[in-house]
Amino acid sequence: MRVDVAVLRRDFPIFEAQPAPFHYLDSAATAQICRPALEALCRFEGKARANVKRGVYRLAEAATRAFEEARRQVARLLGGVDPAEVVFTAGTTLALNLAAHGLSPRLGPGRRVLVSVLEHHSNLVPWQLACARTGAELVAVPATADGRLDHEALERLLDSRVAVVALTHASNVTGAVSDVARVARAVRAVGAVLVVDGAQRIPHGPVDVRRLGCDLYAFSGHKAYGATGAGVLWGRRELLEPFPPFLGGGEMITRVTLAHSSYREPPHRFEAGTPPIGPVLALGAAARWMMAQDWQALRAHEEALTRRLLAGLAAMRDVRILGPTDVGERIGVVAFTLESHHPHDICQLLDERGVCTRGGHHCAQPLMDHFGIEASVRASLAPYNDEADVDALLEGLETVRRILG
Ligand code: PMP
């Protein structure tokens, strides 16, 4: 089935609000919110607002029910997992910090954490901190020349010293998708835990985390057509169970005396204080929207656009694409450099033509080091993009070249 982008865009209010030309190619930073998610957010804040988990009046009970329904929707998006395994956080960053904190008791001198060169800083810095705290050793898994995870190198590094492997499912720079199922089998064979940063992968379709075989999976609502402010850490129940508390406060306890506290079961143990209720409800609605889409068609649409973009860039003089050129191994996140022009200059000139792209290190400085550059331009696709968006970028780059020389 061909994707009718004009119909799909009706689900995204931004396209009515922004004046033309508007070519949004920064969905990897934040995707546009879908209408059901925006409506859920507005309905809650404007018409049904009350705190969750505590009130006994009907409005508060309804808010709590809606909150738990959002948890069920996210559980469906992740392959029909147990909703009790879904922890709401403020986003991927907090989810990965929670993972690193929760797994710290498994770390110590002589133990290793493997992270790849592809990681976003939010799946690197928390592990650096955890290793510094515990005396464990952080070991880097190399990337290939075209910016994919080096699966063979990872397998060579796996031995009984490895306690945790933390990897991105899809790179926010090269778009490369790692073979998580293959990694999971190898990680399980040495008795280690596999943490997956799904921030970039989830927006491209539902994921069955159990089938993938990973242990923890993190993502952000705002990249998956929800609101900013809410995200998820999914974890196998038996793994989350012994996690020590992370943030202390209300709602994560069973009993508090002045001297001691006892803690609730997951997921509530990790949801201290008032959660981002509106954004969580939006995330639930976005998950439901995602589950209603034909991802086979959307995937084919994205592949066709990615192919068009890669071919257009490859045909341009002095453009360097940072990532695999085979569309089967990647999502539509395409980073590149153009001669030695600074990415910020390029992005600003593109913006004058209504083309929204991102320039910088993309919070992946070790990967920039791997490529021997400081920064790059990144264009990232979502289902609501079309050929006109890709062509506007490519034409814009020709203009940029004329202006910058
Ligand atoms: N991981 C990856 C791969 C990302 O692309 C991002 C966002 N750019 C993050 C983690 C962090 O997500 P957030 O800022 O929503 O916490």
C-beta separation of 385 from 24 below 8 A: yes
Q: Whose CA is closest to atom 8 on ligand 1?
A: 29
What pLDDT is recorded for position 104?
Answer: 98
Mean pLDDT of the chain: 97
pLDDT digits (tens, 9 = 90+) for 254-283: 999 999 999 999 999 999 999 999 999 999
Residue 160 has pLDDT above 90, yes or no: yes
Give the residue, out of 204, 220, 367, with the most ligand 1 atoms within 8 A of its beta carbon, to mutate for a pocket test: 220
* Mean pLDDT in residue range 29-55: 97
Residue located nearest, by CA, to atom 7 of ligand 1: 29
Tell whether ligand 1 has an atom less than 6 A from the beta carbon of residue 378: no
* pLDDT range class, residue 372, cuts 50, 70, 90: very high
Which atom of ligand 1 approaches the CA of 362 most closely? 8
Q: Is 116 in the pocket of ligand 1 (CB under 6 A)?
A: no
Give domain 38-291's CATH architecture.
3-Layer(aba) Sandwich (3.40)
Q: Across residues 42-46, what is the average pLDDT?
A: 98
pLDDT for res 335:
98
All structural domains of the chain with their residue ranges: 5-32+294-404, 38-291
Q: CB of 92 closer than 6 A to ligand 1?
A: yes
Question: How far is the C-alpha of 376 from the C-alpha of 347, rounded, in Å?
Answer: 10
Which residue's alpha carbon is at the smallest distance from atom 6 of ligand 1?
199
Task: Identify the burial level of 135 via C-beta atoms within 10 angstroms of its C-beta, where 0-12 means exposed, 13-18 middle and 19 or more buried.
Answer: exposed
Whether 376 lines ligand 1, by a CB cut-off of 6 Å, is no
Ligand 1 centroid–CA 13 distance in Å is 23
Quick count: other Cβ atoms within 10 Å of Cβ 11?
20
pLDDT tens sequence across 220-247? 999 999 999 999 999 999 999 999 999 9
Mean pLDDT across 91-108: 98
229 C-alpha to center of ligand 1: Å? 12
Per-residue model confidence (pLDDT) at position 264: 97
Is residue 124 in contact with ligand 1, taking CB distance under 6 Å?
no
Q: Work out the average pLDDT over 328-351.
A: 96
Q: How confident is the model at residue 55 (pLDDT cuts 50, 70, 90)?
A: confident
Ligand 1, residues 201, 363, 365: which to mutate, most atoms within 8 A of Cβ?
363
Taking residue 20's Cβ as centre, other Cβ atoms within 10 Å add up to 7
pLDDT at 203: 98
Assess whether the region 5-32+294-404 and the region 38-291 belong to the same CATH fold: no
pLDDT of residue 54: 84
Inform me whether the pLDDT recorded for 354 exceeds 90: yes
Q: Is 89 in the pocket of ligand 1 (CB under 6 A)?
A: no
**CB distance 27 to ligand 1 below 6 Å:** no
pLDDT(1) > 90: no
Read off the pTM: 0.98
Cα 383 to ligand 1 centroid, rounded to whole Å = 19
Q: Is 67 or 329 the better-scoring residue by pLDDT?
A: 67
Q: Is 97 in the pocket of ligand 1 (CB under 6 A)?
A: no
* pLDDT given at position 243: 98
Tell me the CA distances in angstroms from 205 to 223, 224, 234, 305, one per residue in order: 12, 9, 16, 16
- Per residue, the 3-state secondary structure of the chain, as one string, reads CCCCHHHHHCCCCHHHHCCCCCEECECCCCCCCCHHHHHHHHHHHHHCCCCCCCCCCHHHHHHHHHHHHHHHHHHHHCCCCCHHHEEEECCHHHHHHHHHHHHHHHCCCCCEEEEECCCCHHHCHHHHHHHHHHCCEEEEECECCCCCECHHHHHHHCCCCEEEEEEECECCCCCEECCHHHHHHHHHHCCCEEEEECCCCHHHCCCCHHHHCCCEEEEEHHHCCCCCCCEEEEECHHHHCCCCCCCCCCCCEEEECCCCEEECCCCHHHCCCCCCHHHHHHHHHHHHHHHCCCHHHHHHHHHHHHHHHHHHHHCCCCEEECCCCCHHHECCEEEEEECCCCHHHHHHHHHCCCEECEEECCCCHHHHHHHCCCCEEEEECCCCCCHHHHHHHHHHHHHHHHHHC
Atom of ligand 1 nearest to the CA of 122: 10
**363 a catalytic residue:** yes
pLDDT digits (tens, 9 = 90+) for 305-333: 999 999 999 999 999 999 999 998 899 99
Q: Of 92, 168, 173, which is best to mutate to test ligand 1, by the most ligand atoms within 8 angstroms of its C-beta? A: 92
Which pLDDT belongs to residue 329?
86
pLDDT at 25: 99
5-32+294-404 is classed in which CATH architecture? Alpha-Beta Complex (3.90)
pLDDT at 294: 98
Q: Which atom of ligand 1 is nearest to the CA of 92?
A: 16
